Amino acid sequence: MEAGEALGFMRERADLFANAYWGQLALGELRRFFWRGGSDAHRAFRDLEAFSGYLRRKLKECFRYRQPPPEAHGSLEMVPAPKAPVDFYRKEAAKPLAWLGVLDLDFRSQKVEAEEARKRFAAAVEFLRGKGVEPEIHLSRDGYHAVFPLPPLEDPLAARKGLASYLSRRFKLVIDTQPLEAEHHMARLTFSWHPAGSLFCVPLYWWELEELTAEELRGLGRDPKEVEARLRDYGAEWRPLGEIAEPESFEALLTLLEPEKAAPASAFRKWRVRAEEGWRSLEVPDLGVAEYAGELEGFGWVRVLVERQVYPKDGKLNLAWLVLAPAVAKGILSEAEAAEWLRRAAEACGKDPSPYLKKLEGEIRRRREREPSSEELALPTWRSLLLRTRKDGRPLSGHYEKIRKPLLEALAEKGLVRLRVAVPFTRI
């Protein structure tokens, strides 16, 4: 995508870009400073309306003076929301209250080829996920960024540098640590336009980082349809800036890295987690506390169904077109994997697989013809399935209610879920 085309794309979808950027700049009553590149001062905005107006004016200026699209960066520190837009260099009263961590991998700095660097970075992200961190991953010019919040720490700068250094050694990568020493470091926002790479820094699913090639990933940021689909899904399919799902596990890791500086202040108590490695827990209204293997997070539960041969006992084979068909269309599974699962699931409950396989083939073909933003491809994440709600707060489709109980029971039988049911299942 050329710069002129990218600028026109941004102007036509200014509201989508403003919402996507604002989701990363405003966390409740906290704000990040925004920088659009060039000579513009760093600013923190009071609300979306003020920020959206600013972004539209800058897009208009770029068009008028034939400049490239504005690049978008945000500070790694967060301050109280100002009553009016405030300049970065006049914020003496705005003491930082929270910080973000970021892993910056650039292919040009690596001692290995891009494909090998991608695999190692994917392994580093998976390690973080095992320690309770669900980072937001997005493209950069020649590499990737992984962004995540930090718990309250005495020295957040030392902690994030120490973590980046540790991951560099463990996974034999060159992760840029020098900028992390600066108190006011700025990091590129998701959906920022990168002129050197001629792409938008779109968010990535963790499984895409593992399974797609480096060039295929770069193609996502250059495809207007793909960029728009991810813009529209942002905040529902992706959580801006990621999250710490297991704060105690991650705090323990930071304490080991910098025991004298990174002693955690244990302020995260929304979720109580198990100390057992790889397990997570979540308070679910009709189940009480549900404990489950971390590999189920995100869309991992779909791959677990296939790889661990999990088959619901009561023959809920409609799971094939409710789950496997959209998963194939989204690239999470191959068609062969889905067909093999359905064949074995049908045989396990004494049914002829032939009509089900034909139905699955048709459902996959139909979904592949849908736009990426289609509701038919809106596969629920693991937490959405447990909580019966999407990330945007809307209730999950009633179709998934019919497979939820049999699916959880089958996973429990495989030892991947532990349920302490407080309230009986309803509407199933």
80-114 pLDDT tens trace: 999 888 887 665 557 888 999 999 999 888 888 99
> Which of the residue ranges 239-243, 299-303, 406-410 has the most confident prediction, judged by mean pLDDT?
239-243
Range of the domain at 24: 3-90
Around Cβ 179, how many Cβ atoms within 10 Å? 14
228 and 346 both lie in a single domain: no
In the listed set 90, 109, 133, which residue is the last one of a domain according to the structure?
A: 90
11 and 51 both lie in a single domain: yes
Q: What is 160-180 written as a DSSP string? A: HHHHHHHHHHHTT--B--GGG
340 and 309 both lie in a single domain: yes
Q: Does residue 260 lie within any of the structural domains?
A: no
287 and 402 both lie in a single domain: yes
Q: How confident is the model at residue 412 (pLDDT cuts 50, 70, 90)?
A: confident
Higher per-residue confidence, 44 vs 345: 44
23-41 pLDDT tens trace: 999 998 999 999 887 666 7
Q: Does residue 267 lie within any of the structural domains?
A: no
86 and 112 both lie in a single domain: no
Mean of all residue pLDDT scores within the chain: 82
Query: How far are the Cα atoms of 25, 125, 183 from residue 76, in angstroms, in the given order?
Result: 10, 19, 8
Q: Does residue 176 lie within any of the structural domains?
A: yes
136 and 222 both lie in a single domain: yes
408 and 343 both lie in a single domain: yes
**CATH number for the domain that contains residue 188:** 3.90.920.10
246-283 pLDDT tens trace: 888 888 888 777 543 333 333 322 222 332 346 787 87
> Which of the residue ranges 66-70, 309-313, 416-420 has the most confident prediction, judged by mean pLDDT?
66-70
Residue with tokens 């040009």: 108
pLDDT of residue 119: 93
Q: How far apart are CA 359 and CA 380, in angstroms?
A: 21
In the listed set 186, 221, 244, which residue is the last one of a domain according to the structure?
A: 244
18 and 42 both lie in a single domain: yes
Q: Does residue 265 lie within any of the structural domains?
A: no
pLDDT of residue 59: 94
60 and 110 both lie in a single domain: no
161 and 214 both lie in a single domain: yes
Q: Does residue 390 lie within any of the structural domains?
A: yes
Q: How far apart are CA 306 and CA 364, in angstroms?
A: 16
* Total domain count, the chain: 3
Prediction pTM value: 0.61
Q: How far apart are CA 65 and CA 410, in angstroms?
A: 61
292 and 193 both lie in a single domain: no
344 and 298 both lie in a single domain: yes
In the listed set 34, 67, 90, which residue is the last one of a domain according to the structure?
A: 90
